[in-house]
Structure 1
Amino acid sequence: MGSFLSRFIDGGTEVSDPSSAEPSRVSSFHSSDSWQLHFKNSEASSQLMVIDFAASWCGPCKIMKPVVHAMSSTFTDVDFVKIDVDELPDVAEEFKVQAMPTFVLVKKGKEVDRVVGAKKDELQEKIEKHRAQLLPST
């Protein structure tokens, strides 16, 4: 519920994919404070978070945008987040982002994997791998 609430507090917004009639499940953050709140809330959860670091001028980022929106509809148990590196350079620096797009996969506040570049298949494989680890081992 914390991530749900943080989307509506100063700067966290739901974004829609204009090519789709369905609203997107990708949260976009426009302030460091709202991002930090969302991230802090996610640290207590074992839910996989996929952070899409992109820029409005980045061609490969534009190619991946509909792919990420489709994945967010497919993997409804995964928290998809978009960070514009020009809007939140401090967040991009914190995650050591050096190229775009960069997808950082996080669980319990820790990076578990990353994909650099517009690599749809690699991103999907890593999401499937890490979301499958949601259930505790017995």
Structure 2
Amino acid sequence: MAGSAEGTVIACHTKDEFDAQLAKAYEADKLVVIDFMSPRRGPCQAIAPVFAECAKEYPTKAVFLKVDIHELEEVANRYNIQGTPTFFFIRYNVTLESFFCAYPDKLRNTVKEFIDSPLASASSA
């Protein structure tokens, strides 16, 4: 399985690996932020360092996954990805938000919004 070091972006290369990372994040009550990307597209390359910065900023509160839509077409289809980069914000298997864009401020602000949200730490207690 790919690295699961906190504070890093985890690149998922198989559907099983992706599903395992999601399950682990849900179990740890973490926000999941998924970057559905294509390495061939300039906007995906441009936003990647911002995505990595977010991962470093919130190492204990969120899991940042990167999915190449060409490599994991089955996963991209599951989320109905129409273009890249598309970001999904998921907690407890519920999609909180998703958007298509490569705007650094929107990405940072959305991550911060869901990290700081009162629901962010609401567990099934």
State whether TM-score is above 0.5.
yes
* TM-score, with structure 1 as normaliser: 0.78
1:65 aligned to which of 36, 44, 48: 48
Q: CA deviation at 1:80?
A: 0.6
**1:135 maps to which residue?**
121
Q: Tell me the SS of whatever aligns to 2:10.
A: strand
1:48 aligned to which of 8, 31, 34: 31
**2:65 maps to which residue?**
81
* Residues in 2 aligned to 1:93 and 1:31: alpha-carbon distance in whole angstroms: 14
**1:25 maps to which residue?**
8
Q: CA deviation at 1:49?
A: 0.8
Q: CA deviation at 1:14?
A: 6.2
Q: Where has structure 1 moved over 4 Å in runs of 4 or more?
A: none
Unaligned runs of 5+ in 2: none
Asked if the contact 2:32/2:91 (under 8 Å) is kept, the reply is yes
The alignment covers a number of residue pairs equal to 120
**1:99 maps to which residue?**
83
Q: Please report the RMSD computed on the Cα atoms of aligned residues, expressed in angstroms.
A: 2.2
Distance 1:113 1:27, change over 3 A: same
Unaligned runs of 5+ in 1: 1-8, 16-22
Asked if the contact 2:54/2:111 (under 8 Å) is kept, the reply is no
* TM-score, with structure 2 as normaliser: 0.86
Identical counterparts, % of pairs: 23
Distance 1:116 1:132, change over 3 A: same
**1:123 maps to which residue?**
107
Q: CA deviation at 1:46?
A: 2.7
Q: CA deviation at 1:79?
A: 0.7
